[in-house]
Amino acid sequence: MNSQYRINVFKRASLCRNFEQYVFNGIRQKMFKFPIYLSAGQEYISASIAEVMNEIDISPNIFIQHRGHSTYLSFDAPIEKLIDELLGRPSGCANGMGGSASIQSKEKNIYGHDGLMGSQVPIAVGHCYTTNHPTIVYMGDASAEEDYVLGALGWAATKKLPILFIVEDNNLSILTEKKIRRSWEMHDVAKSFGMPSENIPDDPLVVKKALEHVFKGPKLLNINTHRKFWHSGAGIDDEDTFDRFKEEMKLIGIEAENIDKKIKKQVQDIWQKQLEKQ
Closest CA to 207 of 187, 184, 224: 224
Average pLDDT by stretches of 10, the chain with 278 residues: 93 98 96 95 98 98 97 98 98 97 97 95 98 98 96 98 98 95 98 98 98 97 96 88 97 97 98 92
Q: What is the mean pLDDT of the chain?
A: 96
pLDDT of residue 233: 84
Bridge partner list, 219: 164
pLDDT of residue 278: 65
Q: What is the pTM of this model?
A: 0.97
